[in-house]
Amino acid sequence: MQNKKIEQLITQLLVELDENPTREGLKKTPHRVARMFRELTNGYKTTRQQTLNDALFEEKIHNMIILRDIEIYSLCEHHMLPFFGKCHIGYIPNGTIIGVSKLARIVERFTKRLQVQERLTQEIAMELKEILNPNGIGVVIEAQHLCMMMRGITKQNAIMITSSVLGSFRKDQKTREEFFSIVNKQK
Catalytically active residues are 76-79, 117, 145, 147
| Cα–Cα nearest to 82, from 143, 136, 20 | 143
Cross-sheet strand order for the sheet of 160-167 = 114-115, 65-76, 82-92, 136-145, 160-167
Rounded CA gap, 121 and 66, in Å? 15
Q: Helix or strand or coil: residue 156? A: coil
Rounded CA gap, 149 and 144, in Å? 8
Nearest-10 Cα torsion for 129, 132, 133, 136:
-70
Rounded CA gap, 9 and 17, in Å? 12
Strands 65-76 and 114-115: parallel
- 156 beta partners: none
Contact of 113 with 76, CB cutoff 8 Å: no
